[in-house]
Amino acid sequence: FSSYFDDTFVGVYLPLKNQTFSSESDWLNTLALSTMQILSQKDFSLYKLPKQDAEDQDMRRWMMTEYLPEMFAIIRGRRLVWLLDDTGSLIQWIKAGKLPADHFAYLDGLVKQFQNLGIIMAMDSRYEMLIPTMSPLVSVTDVYRLANLTEDETRALIQQPIQNQYRISDDASAAVFAATAGQPRLVQRFGAALYDYMQVTDTPRTILAIEDVKTVSNTVQQQSNTDFRKIWDETGRNERLLLTAITRLMVDDPLTAVNVTAISDWLIESDYPLDLTTINAAVRGLEYDELIENNKGNISFKSSLMQVWLLQNAELQTASTTTVAPPRRGLIAAAIVLALIILVLVFVVSQQPPANQPSSSTAQPTLTLIANP
């Protein structure tokens, strides 16, 4: 933050992922203490900042009417920016009852009352559908989605940091982009792996080429397996089925383009059928997550590293409700009918008296005619 904004901005970074708070007062107190710590590092005098009365349980009132007014007086016209990382945690804390339901409304009130207060919030994309719950502090028009790096941005990240020591060719940078799809963490790993490779190579080099990217690819693949597993675990069932289908289709016939029809046919043959509407929706979701590319109906993976991981790990997941495939229904129906016939025959036979035993029923009276000679 400080690298891009001058001293008129005071940034307070606070990661929330591993934080534990028991109440809103605890959380607001952490905000206040974190702000004071940054101001202290910047040599601001903090003796005028009010201390919260231990008997005062209204942390909201203290923050709004005592702490922030004095804090803005101390920084004298500068802009205070709270940089909250992993703010999906706030949503979870509200659901868990650790924060009141109107907490985002309270934060919105602070921003509106203090014009020099800004809040920048970052969260994982899996919370994207819950952004409306952060109203009125956040609206969908306030959101900026951080996408993967473009090919030009990947080239810059790979080439510029080391340009005074050695060069990485444009072809090598393009190979890194093909392997990573511009995922920043993967690109950084390639940069680090190539740098380490340069330190141990026996032959002095001034430029790295595609062959060098291939040499370090296995190292980056191993370093990234946990990331790919996380992506897989957080992907929906239908999207997993598509990823598996695309992987197997590309292995079975690398020269044939994968399309929605081929995916549908493969899933039917694998006893995991999805209708075309569901498949198209899953394709759009995977495109949105930048895992696949759909070029005029031809579907492919954006990252070759991800494709390798899927080839080694992707498996069809058991459906929550399984249905019997049509070819098997006839066999099962025939078996049921046969069982019923056997039961009926057993019942009928059991009702017949044994052949060699007299009947146990009472004999009916008869007339005997005697003829006298």
DSSP 46-87: -TTSPPPPTT---HHHHIIIIIHHHHHHHHTTPEEEEEEEST
307 inside domain: yes
Work out how many domains the chain is built from and give that number.
3
C-beta separation of 76 from 122 below 8 A: no
Pair (72, 120) in one structural domain: yes
Q: Cα 73 to chain center, whole Å? A: 43
Q: Which residue has the higher pLDDT, 335 or 157?
A: 157
Q: What is the mean pLDDT of residues 81-94?
A: 94
Name the strand (E) or helix (H) holding 15.
Answer: strand 9-15
259 lies in the same domain as 203: no
Q: Is 90 part of a structural domain of the chain?
A: yes
Residues 292 and 242 in one domain: yes
Return d(Cα 349, Cα 168) in angstroms, integer.
89
Task: Assess whether 21 and 112 both reside in one domain.
Answer: yes
pLDDT for the residue 298: 95
Residue 320 in domain: no
pLDDT on residue 53: 61
pLDDT band at 227 (very low <50, low <70, confident <90, very high): very high
Does residue 116 sit in the same domain as residue 73? yes
Q: Which is it for strands 117-121 and 167-168: parallel, antiparallel or unpaired?
A: unpaired
Residues 304 and 239 in one domain: yes
Question: Are 155 and 131 contained in the same domain?
Answer: no
The residues facing 298 across adjacent strands are 295
**Residue 337 lies inside a defined structural domain of this protein:** no
What is the torsion angle, in degrees rounded to the nearest 10, for the CA atoms of residue 254, residue 256, residue 262 and residue 267? -10
Round to the nearest angstrom and report the end-to-end CA distance of the chain.
138
Domain match, 194 and 241 both: no
User: Which pLDDT band holds residue 134 (cuts at 50, 70, 90)?
Assistant: very high
Residue appearing with tokens 């995922």? 183
3-state secondary structure of 308: helix
Give residue 81's pLDDT: 96
Let me know whether 54 and 167 are in one domain. no
Residues 101 and 160 placed together within one structural domain of the fold: no
Distance CA 241, CA 126 (A): 19
Average pLDDT value over all residues in the chain = 84
Return the pLDDT at 52: 67
Residue 370 scores a pLDDT above 70: no
Strand partners, 300: 293
The reply to whether 176 falls in a domain is yes
Q: Cα 280 from chain centroid?
A: 19
CA dist 56 → 23, 46, 49, 53, 215 (Å): 15, 21, 16, 5, 63
- In percent, the amount of the chain with pLDDT more than 70 equals 83
Number of H helices, E strands in the chain: 14, 7
Residue 366 lies in a domain: no
Distance CA 217, CA 220 (A): 5
For residue 228, the Cα-to-chain-centroid distance in whole angstroms is 10
Residue 336 lies in a domain: no
- Non-local CB neighbours of 194 within 8 Å, separated by 6+ positions: 158, 168, 208, 212, 213, 216
Co-location of 249 and 299 in the same domain: yes
The answer to whether residue 325 scores a pLDDT higher than 80 is: no
Domain assignment present for residue 229? The answer is no
Helix (H) / strand (E) element for 298: namely: strand 298-301
Residue 215 shares a structural domain with residue 174: yes
Q: Which among 203, 224, 245 is the end of a domain?
A: 224
pLDDT in tens, 244-261: 999 999 999 998 999 999
CATH of the domain at 195: 1.10.8
User: What amino acid occupies position 86?
Assistant: D
- Domain boundary at 313, 345, 366, which? 313
For the record, the structure tokens of 98 come out as 């650790």
pLDDT at res. 368? 28
**CATH number of the domain bearing residue 291:** 1.10.10.10
pLDDT digits (tens, 9 = 90+) for 138-148: 988 888 988 99
Would you say 68 and 36 are in contact if contact means Cβ atoms under 8 Å apart? no
Backbone torsions φ then ψ of 258, nearest 5 degrees? -90, 130
Domain that residue 192 falls in: 151-224
- Which band of pLDDT confidence, cut at 50, 70 and 90, is reported for residue 17? confident
